[in-house]
Amino acid sequence: MRRPVLMIAPPDPLTVPPWPPTEAALPWAFFLDVDGTLLEFADRPSAVRVESELASTLARLNRATGGAVALISGRAVSDVDALFAPLVVPVAGQHGAERRSADGRHHRYPALADALRPAAKALAAFSARHPGVFLEDKGMSVALHFRLRPELQDTVTREVSRVAGALGSAWAIQPGVLVCEIRPGGRDKGVAIAEFLAESPFAGRVAVFVGDDLTDEQGFRAVNRHGGVSVKVGAGETAARWRLADEAAVRRWLGTCAERLDRRPVGERA
């Protein structure tokens, strides 16, 4: 199927995307970051909760697009599933180091996970020495969160760089909003989105990616290359072509999208 080309030119400066046009019968695919995009940050990832209204919006959007909604997260796939249960959609976790396709297949990429154990142990010891800094061990990636100690950003970054350097070139450092992470090299959100776009039901659709963080910039670039809609949440320099103010604005906008797409005849949704 030939990929549709979005004909809306973004203005300068970036503004809220005036989309989707109700008169257009183009097929859409949504790729959505989780923390800082759909959900406000919490002191710890485990403290985040999904409100029923958001769950309803995502379910409606998933239904209206024929299942072309995927969550693209730094969290592990199992963590995303638990957070949004009982909703089940395709997920890319740990910045693309693992992925579940729409057909339920799990893709886990070579990540030398055993080699990451010494790094996890070292970072756990570091967090124990610095109250307010905590380690999130996701299996194929590890992250130091310093949301409670923002003044330690340089210290955390140096420690993660030191530990990552001992692992070798198979691993990459991923900075984020008050977090610094070690993840498998060669895997990122842009790669994960491109892989989804090669599969059903995402293939041949106009891709939409909404994200807020440095970890999402690869996703913006991937969607731009596909002629899609890249949306940055919040302030900051970005490769995204559009912008939404905050997580609440994202939820409102997605609600509008779901409503408009749900109104279209069933034959025009896929």
Residue 20 pLDDT grade (very low, low, confident, very high; cuts 50, 70, 90): low
pLDDT tens-place string over residues 124-164: 999 999 999 999 998 888 999 999 999 999 999 999 999 99
**Which of 2-11, 42-51, 106-115, 116-125 ranks highest by mean pLDDT?**
116-125
**Burial (Cβ within 10 Å: 0-12, 13-18, ≥19) of residue 88:** exposed
Q: Of residues 33, 35, 81, 188, which has the active-site annotation?
A: 33
197 contacts 212 by C-beta, under 8 angstroms:
no
33 is catalytic: yes
pLDDT tens digits along 27-78: 899 999 999 999 998 777 778 889 999 999 999 999 999 999 999 999 999 9
Burial class (CB in 10 A: 0-12, 13-18, 19+), 143: buried
3-state secondary structure string across 133-168:
CEEEECCCCEEEECCCCHHHHHHHHHHHHHHHHHHC
Identify the pLDDT of residue 177: 83
User: Mean pLDDT throughout 241-249?
Assistant: 92
Task: Delineate the domains of the chain, giving CATH numbers in brackets.
Answer: 28-109+187-268 (3.40.50.1000), 113-184 (3.30.70.1020)
Contact 56, 262 (CB under 8 A): no
| pLDDT > 60? residue 3 | no
Taking CB atoms within 8 Å and a gap of at least 24, the contacts of 114-119 are: 115/167, 115/170, 116/140, 116/141, 116/142, 116/167, 116/171, 116/182, 118/166, 119/163, 119/164, 119/166, 119/167, 119/171, 119/182
Strongest mean pLDDT among 24-28, 115-119, 144-148 = 144-148
